[in-house]
Amino acid sequence: MASVSPKLDWCVVRLGEDGNWWVEEISDNVRWDVDGLGIIDPRQLSHMIELCDPLNDYGFDRDILENAFFAFGIENDLGEGRIRLSRFRDNILESEEMVFALPDIMDEDKGPYADLLNHITRLRVKMLNDLIDFKQSLTIEELEEEIRENQNQAYMEGRAVHFFTEISSILEYVPEGFELDQDEEGSSASSSSEDIDDDFPDIEESEEKIEEDETMRWDEDEEDDFEEKEESEDEEPREDQSLI
């Protein structure tokens, strides 16, 4: 079962412009910093589990996945793209609830989430070496270096890397110049994902209406002037062609 933090009971999450959910408030604000703290939504969790399926033949440990997250369910829709989530202790892989999964990063270097990243990285490299005929075997260091470069680029651009992006970049990694067949990767579509889409509440981001000023009406006024000019030309009497 997932590790228990007695103070971690609820959190408020918001839907970002990037389509990911980000933590805005959390019950345990002593051990958790909400700055750039993402949370994996039910659709992403379902897709992530599917991406792990090809690793089963290479020793994937589902307990490591289970232990890496705190499970949350929807308690209340707060409007304007915000939801209040409450903590529950079901197995995220077997729960019938719509699960939001918050990675356990209280110990970023040696905690359960770090263990998951190390586990799937090792197995992904093992799988790629088995399925692709490299001149030299792919190494864990090569995969980690490329992903780290992409993350550093995001940080330099002022973008936080969401946990789902971090995990899927490992589970979908293929070295440049190579590819895997769809059958080897596994299908990303599933009935469970469709069920989640049907049950997931319709939540829209808030849209602020911008008041029009005179500068915003320039194109509209120009179009009106053009139409008036065309109408006046059409109304002018034509010369009698017989006089020419």
Q: What is the pLDDT of residues 87-96, one digit of tens each?
A: 998 888 888 8
Query: If we measure between CA atoms, which residue out of 82, 69, 93, 96 comes closest to residue 11?
Result: 82
Tell me what percent of the residues of the chain surpass a pLDDT of 90.
57
Reported as a single tens digit per residue, the pLDDT across 200-210 is 556 554 443 33
Res 194: pLDDT: 52
Residues belonging to the chain: 244
Q: Per-residue pLDDT for 188 more than 80?
A: no
Element (H, E) at 218: helix 218-235
Angle between helices 42-52 and 191-199 (to 10 degrees): 170
Amino acid at site 38: G
Q: What percent of the chain has pLDDT over 70?
A: 72
Residue 172 pLDDT greater than 80, yes or no: yes
Res 170 pLDDT > 70: yes
pLDDT for res 204: 52
Q: 168 burial class (0-12, 13-18, 19+ CB within 10 angstroms)?
A: middle
pLDDT at 242: 38
Picking from 40, 45, 50, the residue whose alpha carbon sits closest to that of residue 85 is: 40
pTM: 0.74
Listed in order, strand segments (DSSP E) in the chain are: 10-15, 21-26, 38-39, 69-79, 82-88, 100-103
**Considering Cα of 86, then 89, then 39, then 187, what sign does the dihedral take?**
negative
For the ranges 102-111, 191-200, 232-241, the maximum mean pLDDT occurs at 102-111
From 41-45, 109-113, 122-126, 196-200, the region with the lowest mean pLDDT: 196-200
| Two tokens, residue 142 | 């090569």
3-class secondary structure, 74? strand
Is pLDDT larger for residue 168 or for residue 212?
A: 168
Q: Residues 67, 104: contact at Cβ < 8 Å?
A: yes
pLDDT band at 186 (very low <50, low <70, confident <90, very high): low
Q: Chain-wide mean pLDDT for the chain?
A: 81
| Beta bridge pairs of residue 85 | 11, 74
pLDDT at 202: 61
b/e string for 35-67 if b means 16 or more Cβ within 10 A?
Answer: eebbbbbbbbbbbbbbbbebbeeeebeeebbbb
What backbone phi and psi angles, to 5 degrees, belong to 207? Answer: -120, 120
pLDDT of residue 164: 97
Tokens of 199: 């049950």
Tell me which amino acid residue 239 is: E
Q: 66, 88, 42: which is closest to 201 by C-alpha?
A: 42
How far apart, in Å, are the Cα atoms of 185 and each of 116, 153, 194, 210?
19, 27, 20, 46
Least confident stretch, 119-123, 130-134, 219-223: 219-223
DSSP conformational letter for 212: P
Q: What is the pLDDT of residues 2-36, one digit of tens each?
A: 444 458 999 999 999 999 999 999 999 899 999 99
Q: Residue 243 — pLDDT band, cuts 50, 70, 90?
A: very low
Residue 46's closest CA among 185, 166, 174, 188? 188
Q: How confident is the model over 30-50, as a mean pLDDT?
A: 95
Residue 179 identity (one-letter amino acid): E
